[in-house]
Structures are given as structure tokens and as C-alpha cells.
Amino acid sequence: MELDPVDIKILELLQENGRLSFRDLAKRTGVTTPTVSSKVEHLENMGLIEGFTVVIDPEMLDQLTILLDIECKPSDLKAVLDRMEGEKEVRELYAVDGTKVHAKVTLRDQNHLNGFLETLGSIEEITSYKYHTVTRTVKEASRAVLHDGQNVVVNCYYCKKPIYDNPVKLKLDGKDHYLCCQSCARLYKEKYDRIKAEAD
């Protein structure tokens, strides 16, 4: 599914400043305020806009940031990722090359770092790790980069598989629901109606 140029412009503006009003966005994209409102609602409903957040400058908090490389057996990768995901200090977490874990971790100070490394040492599945201390953050941009004619991959609401072509859209209770094919659409509609009937 392709985003139109106005969607892209709205997303870029909101990525810079999530507090822009629909009126501001309308003025800057050349469409009406109701159009902006319906487009934003649509992008949220699709799950592409995950939320509106506050960006805090961690440098001002004088914290310590490390980049961490973890090695483990490929069969333990999921266990390590699950364990690391639960740690509050872990701010970014990646599986890389299918066999290793890379993380960005922010800590209060050296003592906190020592405590954190002790925790790492106690995780059996980790065979080795090394870390680098960040001495200067030069660039930190939000991860999404939008290109002209940007494609969006939504997962089918019924079978959960990614939809690479145009989805089958079902409008139910004023919201679009995305399905990969007519058969998923039929099954989804049945399930939706059944759940709704039970709730009534």
C-alpha cells in the first residue's frame, strides 16, 4: 500500500514536532483541517503512527551510554533477547546477523554500569560480551525515513501475514480493517460479527 505525498509530508512534520495542530498541518500541506484529521486518524488506525511522544535530551541528565555486543548460541538468541528486553536500561535492542545481540544501554553512572554488567554475567545463555562507552552522540534521528511513494506493509488482521500488495479493506464501525485476501476478509468478518454479537 502506497502513502500519498500528503501523508508523507504530515508524517515528516509530525516527526519533527508531534505537537503541531491539525490546523498547522493543514496550512503546511495545503489541504483542509478535516482532511488532516482523517489522514492522521487513518495512519494511527493502520498502526503506522504508534504514538505521540516527548523527546528528552539524555545528555542533560549526564548519563552514561554504552553500546553492547553479546554473543550466544543461535538456539539461545530468543532467550537472551527476551531477557534483555525486560531491562529498563536497555533502550535499543537488535538481533544482528541472526546470531548476535546488539544493544544501546543508558545508565546513571559507573556504579550502575558495574551492577548492570554483573546482571549480564549472571545470564547463563550469554557466552561473551563486550561494550563500548559512548563519548559523544553526534546524531540520533528517529528510525523511520520516508521516501516518495513510500510503501507501507500492514499485517493481515486475520492471518497476521504481511500484505505486500493492496490490502482488502473492510470498513467496520467507521474504521478500516486490513485483510490480505477475500477469504481472510470473509473469515475476519464472521469472527468480528461473532465477537460483537457475544458482547451485546
Site residues, Zn ion (CB under 5 A): 156, 158-159, 180, 184
70 strand-pairing partners: 101, 129
Query: Which residue, 129 or 157, is less far from Zn ion as judged by CB?
Result: 157
Distances (CA, A) of 183 to 51, 113, 156, 176: 31, 53, 11, 17
Judging by beta carbons within 10 Å of its beta carbon (0-12, 13-18, 19+), is residue 5 exposed, middle or buried?
Answer: exposed
Instruction: Report the nearest approach of Zn ion to the CB of residue 174 (Å).
Output: 22
**Minimum distance from CB of 71 to Zn ion (Å)?**
37
The smaller minimum CB distance to Zn ion, of residues 146 and 153, is found at 153
Cβ 31 to Zn ion shortest distance, Å: 32
CA atoms within 13 A on the CB side of 138: 0
Question: What is the smallest separation between the CB atom of 1 and Zn ion, expressed in angstroms?
Answer: 14
Q: Which residue's CB is nearer to Zn ion, number 20 or number 152?
A: 152
**Is the CB of 94 or the CB of 164 nearer to Zn ion?**
164
Give 2's strand partners: 151
* Helix H or strand E segment including 100: strand 100-107
